[in-house]
Structure 1
């Protein structure tokens, strides 16, 4: 698996982002989906990654810094054909390593609370994330689950 930073000029990446947005909005109550649109993923606060194997796109994911030592996992999505093969875990480990390298002390995320998101929630828990309350600009929402991972040694 190879990780590439900032690939927005590949139709497969754009299609994965479109699928991610559609799934997020279809499986979340109105007003509760927080997926970043493509333009927001291209800002200086965001590091957008794609995972590849022999020219095939496997997954996408991003880190959004919102404070000097705090970042959020954004836009985690595994291509449908690659699910349940450990690809999501590999992408998450890559994002965690990138956050550590960048001096992040706490890595946060918001995900949906509906059944569609249960596999992702399980993966986040297996990687050390713990449920917490809202952070940054989020507000309490029964359709959202908030999690944090402490990266300080």
Structure 2
């Protein structure tokens, strides 16, 4: 998979963001209504990525700086819009995108990533737990929701190892 940094307003990004919204409708009965500002994914606030297989956009992932304090980190960012199209799932692409998000966030000075996912996304929960993320207190738009689960992980700049 080739991963390219793009604005969230790029047509390939918008296509995949809409696809993940349709997935939320199928699983939860409605779209993700947590606030997302396109500027959150521009330097220095964050970054948005699209993954391609043979020139076809198949995955997204992004991070944006966050005020959430977790795991003793002073500088955190929130993972957003992790998604792989059904035809490309179960190939390790989500794990590769997550590793890319961790590396780029660490390079930008982020100490920990936090995220929110839902109970009706067991494959996402499994990915995060198996990638070293641990449960953290709820935060953000869905804080307090019975269906919401939040996770975090300390990350390190690979250039400093």
TM range (shorter): 0.7 to 0.9
1:24 and 1:41 map into 2 onto residues whose CA distance is 20
Q: Give the match for residue 96 of structure 1.
A: 102
Deviations 1:74-97 (A, max 9, x none): 000101110011111110110011
Task: Say yes or no: does 1:18 pair with 2:18.
Answer: yes
> Relative to 1, partners in 2 of residues 1:69 and 1:127: Cα closer, same or farther, differing over 3 Å?
same
Task: State the 1:65 CA deviation.
Answer: 0.5
> Relative to 1, partners in 2 of residues 1:90 and 1:5: Cα closer, same or farther, differing over 3 Å?
same
Which of 146, 150, 154 is the equivalent residue of 1:146? Answer: 150
Aligned CA-pair RMSD:
2.3
1:16 and 1:35 map into 2 onto residues whose CA distance is 17
1:23 and 1:35 map into 2 onto residues whose CA distance is 15
The alignment covers a number of residue pairs equal to 147
Task: Say yes or no: does 1:41 pair with 2:47.
Answer: no
Q: Give the match for residue 72 of structure 1.
A: 78
1:139 and 1:104 map into 2 onto residues whose CA distance is 22
TM-score (norm 2): 0.80
Task: State the 1:148 CA deviation.
Answer: 0.5
Task: State the 1:64 CA deviation.
Answer: 1.1
Contact 1:105 1:152 in 2 (8 A): yes
Q: Which structure 2 residue ranges, 5 or more long, are not aligned?
A: 68-73
> Relative to 1, partners in 2 of residues 1:3 and 1:30: Cα closer, same or farther, differing over 3 Å?
closer
TM-score (norm 1): 0.83
SS, match of residue 145 in structure 2? coil
Q: Which structure 1 residue ranges, 5 or more long, are not aligned?
A: none
